[in-house]
Chains A and B, each alone.
Chain A
Amino acid sequence: MRSSRRHFMLGAGGCAACMSGLASARVLPTDLDPLIDVGYEPVDADERGMWQSMEQIEETIQASPQLLNSPQLQGYTAGIIERLLGRETPDLRLYLIRSALFNASMFPTGMMIVNTGLMARVRNEAQLAAVLGHEAGHYYRKHSIERYRSLRNKTAAMAWVGAAANVGAGAYAGGANGSNWIYAASAINTAVTMSVFQMSRAQEEEADAYGISLMSHSGYSPDAASQIWKQLIEERKASAEERDKRYSDRSRSVLSTHPPTEDRMRDLADTAAFLAKRGDQRVTDGRAEWLAAVAPHRAMLLDEQIKLNDPGASLYLVESLAQDGWTGLLRYNEGEIYRLRAEAGDHEKAAAAYAAATTLPDAPSEAWRAHGYAQLKAGKVEDGRHALNHYLAMNPEAKDAGVVRYTLAQ
């Protein structure tokens, strides 16, 4: 069934020692052909049924108030998919969904969903391309139906093992070892259950390899794929540390549908190195293009993240973005993180961040409001009133303008 998947050690043959860094990259990025073309229509009853269910889900998504209504970002992202595939892509339908969680998903019908939580985290166009290419891999390698059929076979096998064990146990119940039948059946079925998850992880590896291959062909720096996971691990460590917990990778489990994050990062980095050695073309990471495309949405993306109440992750994100220099928007959001965390000393940190925001030219009006109230609280009445007036001047129609005017009238 998965004949196209080869272990890299076999592919590398006698040269395994000289490319030892590649030992862990399990799926070669070079031998994965798409299994379906534009205009593909399923024929088999199980696949047609799956498509019908998925089309109903797509109808609800099309009508969902959670859709990010941005033709500009939609067009930009669709453009990346076309560049990856080197053609127009009427077979893939992209939906940008307002959800702060880091995720994207692919449906067997060609519906691709990208969360705003992913947009908040990628640092350049190549990183976004890595995720889009991975999702395209699930589609073109027909992973959904492959996984369903495997699950159908395995659940049937488990049901048969269970039924046979019951008959066996019943027939032998007169003897001493009737329950041994049940134990044996349970052991077999546990192994089958594990293999369901194992297959899911193998598909993820294949999709990773497919995506990185598309990136390499379309001139995106393949390093970007492993960078995403590096950033995510750093973020999760920051989040755990903030909560006085030890970072543990939940995908490091036999019941995980995805491979361990660090393994994926290492595999992708290995594959990128392999492609770089082979590569003869110039690659780009499309950083400037990404920053321009995401700029109009940055305030919304940060706002979504901060409302998750995950101060470690939020600070990591804001501070990472600030490596290019602090902006008024970033300083304001830094202040918001401290204000919401509200631990000892956070009031002062928030006030300092708001104050810093107002010295920068792009400070949002909310920064002036927050700065104003922070100053009033600190007893600096003149500065506070000045900032609140600035807020009203910037945003006279604000929903809370009445409240702010009331404060000023006190």
Chain B
Amino acid sequence: MRVKPVLAILLLSLTGCVAPQQQLTSVGFVPPGGNPRIIVMRPDIAVDLLTAGGLLERREDWTNTARDNVLASLQSLQARRGGATRVAITRASAGGEDATVIELNKLHAVVGQSVLMHKFSAQASLPTKDGVFDWTLGELAVQYGEQSGYDYALFLYARDSFSSRGRVALQAVGYLGCMVGVCAVAPGGMQTAFASLVDLKTGELVWFNYLQSPEGDIRTQDGADVLVWTLLDSMSAKT
């Protein structure tokens, strides 16, 4: 279960350690003109239980529900946008060879995490990435484009987690500590997601967006809609 909003505000005022939702878009992105063939890859989703001791425990039922919800959100977004965009409900429907698609999804997850770390976090920003956005999925993406016939691929990666009852109780004791002067509240569940548009002619990430939030719940359709719209709005708004 998620920390109640009132409690979260209290927590914010007490410790100031809860990050507000952030959103950044790569600079200079011009949405593809004409009527490009875009494939929305099957999203990479996992939903975990955050145990009292801080371990992330994968929950199969939550993950499956969340993936269905995100797929439904993507489809309704696509229906609104129109154009030659297809949503890959299954991995096989992404076209291309299965091994290529598996590797590409895995590669996107790793590259996306690097972008988050080295472009959008103050602690690990790289001087070589200052003012440039030159990440790429390389030849594998080009290979996939040739196999599948698509011009662009949109990838979406999302992780969501929810505190166990034990974790919430532990946080309550943490607040108690704050009141007597030793303040160390265990962090609660967290949502991290990012999406990339990849040019399959060059392999380059031409657009990237992410969000990190202690709010939201992609196990519900509303929560999945918020995630998908928040991530993809800045791209679709300009088309």
Contacts and interface: CB of A to CB of B under 8 A. Distances in A.
A152 B51 contact: yes
A157 B183 CA distance: 19
Interface residues of B, number: 32
A159 B61 contact: no
A157 B106 CA distance: 35
Contacts, number: 87
Nearest to A51: B60
B6 interface: no
A63 B103 contact: yes
Interface residues of A, number: 31
Given A60-B106, A63-B98, A171-B180, A50 B54 contact: no
Interface stretch (A20-28, A32-40, A85-93, A162-170): A162-170
A166 B177 contact: yes
Contacts of A45: 49, 59-61
Nearest to A47: B60
Contacts of B58: 49-50, 52-53
A63 B102 contact: yes
Contact of B182 (A48, A160, A169): A169
Contacts of B186: 159, 163
A152 B57 contact: yes
A173 interface: yes
B132 interface: no
Nearest to A55: B60
B139 to A, nearest CB: 13
A158 interface: yes
Contacts of A151: 53, 55
B166 interface: yes
Nearest to B99: A63
Given A60-B102, A63-B102, A163-B186, A152 B174 contact: no
Contacts of B180: 167, 170-171, 173
Interface in B98-120: 98-99, 102-103, 106
A82 interface: no
A62 B176 CA distance: 50
Contact of B170 (A59, A159, A170): A159
Interface string A268-286: 0000000000000000000
A160 B52 contact: yes
B182 A173 contact: yes
A52 B63 contact: yes
Given A50-B58, A163-B186, A154 B53 contact: yes
B177 A170 contact: yes
Interface string B68-104: 0000000000000000000000000000001100110
Contacts of A188: none
B218 to A, nearest CB: 16
17 contacts: A45-B59, A48-B61, A49-B60, A53-B58, A62-B99, A63-B102, A152-B53, A152-B57, A155-B51, A156-B166, A160-B173, A167-B176, A167-B182, A169-B182, A170-B177, A171-B180, A173-B180
Interface of A: 45-46, 48-53, 59-60, 62-63, 151-160, 162-164, 166-167, 169-171, 173
